[in-house]
Amino acid sequence: METLQVEQESKELIRRYRKLLRYAKPMLKDDDSRQIRKAFNLALEAHAGIRRKSGEPYIYHPLAVAQICVEEIGLGTTSIIAALLHDVVEDTDYEVEDIEREFGGKVAQIIDGLTKISGVGSKHESGQAENFRKMLLTLSQDVRVILVKLADRLHNMRTLDSMPRHKQLKIASETIFIYAPLAHRLGLYAIKTEMEDLHLKYTNEEVYQSIIDNIRSTKEVRDRFIRRFTRPIHQELSNQDFDFTIKGRVKSIHSIWEKMKKQNIPFEEVFDLFAIRIIVDVPEEQEKAVCWHVYSIVTDFYKPNPDRLRDWVSTPKANGYESLHTTVMSRTGKWVEVQIRTQRMDDIAEKGYAAHWKYKDSANKKESGLEQWISQVRELLENISSNAADFVDEFKANLYQDEVFVFTPKGDLRTLQYGATTLDFAFDIHTQIGLKCLGAKVNQRLVPLNYVLQNGDQVEILTSNKQKPSEDWLRFVVTSKARSGIKNGLRDEIRLIAEDGKEIVHRKLKQLKIEVKSDTFNQLTRFFGLTQVTDFLYRVGKGIIEPKELKKFKDASEKKKISTRPSNFTDARELGKLITEKTGRDDSILFLGQDLNLVDYKFATCCSPIPGDDVFGFVTINEGIKIHRTNCPNAPELLSKHGHRVLKAKWASDKRESFEATLEIIGTDRVGLINDVTKIISNELKVNMKSITVDTDTGIFEGRIVLYINDKKHLGELVKKLESVEGVVKVNRIKDK
């Protein structure tokens, strides 16, 4: 039986390897095929006998990553080799030097960027942030390190079923927090979309499955509508001899869910479930004229919404995306989004950065927005923050999606993040101009530093050598380049003030007869609700925290309100060990409602979890353990940036107590409606209400009820009953404000 399995796996391995070569063949030169074979053999030997959690041979994973690189991103030989070897240094005895000797410096550099830092993440502030920063440093030399990493992450997301629940949450959260926005920024829309959908699958499977079922059940009606809608357009484009393709594409599951949440509507009320895409194949010099020609054909048949025209052909997005979008009214009274683009534009939209390089030497030789963005990232990397988590925040701020287009006094177009101010614009031109910026003239009118730029503004920056950066500037800049420049400008001043603060604290602690130990400053920092010792010392030096306030710290210490074990505040693993030791259970899971005598915890107000919700514990800096729902709005950031502070948690099934939940009820007002609602709550289901507020306006009834329920199932029964009341249109569980 075992021999049969080995034979089947060998056949499957050969099949996958041949498929990789088949897709790579059009771009292979000279010695490329032999080098790929050598890399494959090395990976096969290095990972021999190792299996993934799914039970499959480990070698399937690097092969799959290489396949994504070539088939879905369009990368070449160097990236294929790097993908095949991307886990060799991290997981086996091979060193980066071995890779460089066999395959050269480029491959070694990419693999080094993809290899995690060993020993990071135990007591470190954030192991994930450190590794992400290391990977991004390689971006300054070679963007392929990010592209291979995205392929690696995509395959991990596709095979997440075999991982334990807490790992699924961590990997999915990192993906939505950093990798999906990064894929978007590099123009990899297909990969970004799949990552977002898979994140939803593993954090809110109920919603994910519900949307999939709804899409399937409406497919026939939708296909029929698309055929009818596109028929006249298809006919006219054929009559005019265009080489074209028309596709009807359903929007992603994640984007449908975001729209349902944002507009607070059910699936049935999402009107723009799909978009029609018209792709024409024409020479690059004719692209703009042809796109507008096709637009005129579409609007000959259907009336456009003038507020929904988006021209990314004349002004491409910063990630290189080009397309003409319009929304038109169909003959059945439905709005339909139509996207018009050329084959080149579609290639770039689907494969992003790699496709961009394919067309680099064509008619459009001007530096693209994508190249400009990578230049900005390189500048950011030159001014690296000492704190890895801060660096990730700065980088993430640079993964913006909405943009504003403004002009210099000479008429040069610059693209900035939506919400950017004149000070952001000054730093975008040059860091020194930003640091000396006094104000600006926008459209010949004098404006302050915090003026928010609008599309089409022409901006002239005013500077002075006497000007110095201020902390207040950080409140109204939005671009990472500006934030980084201001922080660097302030750093020397902050360091000097923090040194003064340290002397003040030392004197006061001596006066209070508090012994200064290695962890005293960390405890003080946590006590005052801060995360960085420098921040605490700076505030003391500035007089924001007065020396007399240190007596409160002494009083609290004496009452044992401050733990002398810093791990209790920063590392979930110590708590996990404590739970395992005290309970004798194999797994370090916190059972809610059962382990209160071991550790103290609170339910997070941002998502108000109730029994039945999928949850996790998070060790805060100075508020103990907070329990969050896995689909909490804050979950992606907490799980991806601070994995070392995440504690596995489950509801104890034998504990019955009441939890607060808030329901919003919307309907048409009628006499007796409130009475019917309260009867179901109090009499039929014996639920206690904490409060009820009702507002009626022109026949519309809106109510908010805070009540005590036992668990998610109990709440589900109540929602079903309330929805059946005459006049009630919608019942939603909402976050308690």
Catalytic residues: 90-91
Question: Strand 625-629 vs strand 615-619: parallel, antiparallel, or unpaired?
Answer: antiparallel
Q: Where are the alpha helices (DSSP H) in 512-587?
A: 520-527, 533-542, 550-558, 567-570, 572-583
Token pair, residue 191, equals: 């990969």
The SS3 of residue 592 is strand
**Side-chain half-sphere of 387: how many Cα atoms within 13 Å?**
13
Please list the residues that pair with 660 across neighbouring strands.
708
Non-local CB neighbours of 657 within 8 Å, separated by 6+ positions: 593, 710
The SS3 of residue 518 is coil
Please list the residues that pair with 311 across neighbouring strands.
324
Strands of the sheet containing 459-463, edge to edge, are 445-447, 437-442, 459-463
Q: How many residues in the chain?
A: 737
Reported as type and span, the H/E element at residue 233 is helix 219-239
- Secondary-structure percent of the chain, ordered helix, strand, coil, rounded to 5: 55, 15, 30
What is the C-alpha separation between 302 and 334, in angstroms, rounded?
11
Q: Are 394 and 133 in contact (CB under 8 A)?
A: no
Query: Exposed, middle or buried: residue 91 (CB in 10 Å: 0-12, 13-18, 19+)?
Result: middle
Query: Exposed, middle or buried: residue 221 (CB in 10 Å: 0-12, 13-18, 19+)?
Result: exposed
What is the C-alpha separation between 266 and 22, in angstroms, rounded?
45
What is the C-alpha separation between 77 and 81, in angstroms, rounded?
6
Please list the residues that pair with 661 across neighbouring strands.
707
Number of Cβ within a 10 Å radius of residue 208: 19
DSSP assignment of 132-161: HHHHHHGGGT-THHHHHHHHHHHHHHHTGG
Q: Are 142 and 106 in contact (CB under 8 A)?
A: yes
